[in-house]
Chain A
């Protein structure tokens, strides 16, 4: 059912604007196709960068106020008690503070990075064993400075288009996607309902990874 409504975001290699146009011609209704064009990274990402670079507690407090209710809501919806959810939120917020040096705004918006930390911690707790996670690709400060400042903004533009695409979906399908990411669907249900392709965003992140690999190689050779 969902498969029929699959959006094809897979426009690998084309610039973000062209991807948006290709998409608009497909299924998006004209009323909603005014293109969002962010000229800066989102404010949550700015706060997280301030926490990383300046150990800014005010920025951290803003992140806390924004994310802690959302994280608690997500964890409760995916089956935790309120008390257990708050324990996980506490660990997530402290992990954000302590591991901020690993955050790379050219590959992840703040909400994506925090989403991952929350899942990692939730699964550690539920399964009582560490969740298997990919080896970190470390982006230390010295390599980060050489990267294009535009990369985070371009990622933000991709994200705005994806958000718009999700909003343009029929209600039932949008609900399935929301439930999948909130954590309410089983592996089998997700296998049946792969209704959102992320090819353009994937390509953007892939570019950032290639740059990072390149810089890490240069560093090793110095």
Chain B
């Protein structure tokens, strides 16, 4: 396995830890941390700071009823503890959960490129991209922030090469053309907080249909 060289920025790790990140970006953070011990340690350091603040917080007295509910629950051995699914192949558990299956439901976008939408809400969207070796992802600019995590293969663009586990953070200023590496199909998890705007390949009018 190649070494991860592109990590999450601090503010993103902190936003995840404090719970202020939307679902799509949280998915990328969870998927990256699943395979990056460096960022797992950074996240756990954030949580340690969160715990210090929690320890010093002025509390609010809970009701007597809460105490009763908690202690009555201790002996309930049948209680089901919700678990996120386990990793399946290249897909971390959080992605398996979002797919609702062990493999993506791909939709062809043309040129051999496929995508599978994982989530969409008012804060952003997350999808998987399937890019055949040597293919370019259509040139696009961003209306906001885009995070792209490589799950298989690699891609390269004007800013460098991204292999398995690497995450690219692209904002408004970046007008880039990622090209998949020749060694394998590149599969990425991409999340954005704004609709992507394609400049080539797909006319603007088609965007709502492809949801890209």
Interface residues of A (CB under 8 A from B): 44, 57, 60-61, 64, 67-74, 76, 78, 82, 85-86, 89-90, 93-95, 97-99, 107-116, 118-119, 122-124, 127, 129-135, 137, 155, 159, 162-163, 166, 177-178, 180-183, 185-187, 190-191, 194, 196-198, 201-203, 205-206, 209-210, 213
Chain B at the A interface: SS class? helix
Given A71-B54, A114-B54, A129-B23, A187 and B60 contact (CB-CB distance below 8 Å)? no
Give CA–CA (A210, B41) in the complex, Å.
Answer: 10
Q: How far apart are the CA atoms of A185 and B41 in the complex, in Å?
A: 23
The tally of residues in B whose CB lies under 8 Å from a CB in A reads 64
CA gap between A132 and B62 in the complex, in Å: 29
Chain B residue nearest to A206 (CB atoms) is B41
Give Cα A129 to B38, complex, Å: 27
Which of A89, A132, A191, A205 makes the CB contact (< 8 A) with B11? Answer: A191
- Residues B22-60 near A (CB distance < 8 A): 22-23, 25-27, 29-31, 33-34, 37-38, 40-60
Which 4 pairs between the two chains have the least Cβ-Cβ distance?
A69-B59, A111-B51, A132-B94, A112-B51
Interchain Cβ contacts under 8 Å between A and B, 24 examples: A68-B66, A69-B60, A70-B54, A72-B60, A73-B59, A86-B66, A108-B51, A111-B52, A112-B44, A114-B54, A115-B47, A116-B17, A116-B47, A132-B31, A134-B34, A135-B92, A135-B94, A166-B52, A177-B53, A187-B11, A198-B48, A201-B48, A205-B41, A205-B45
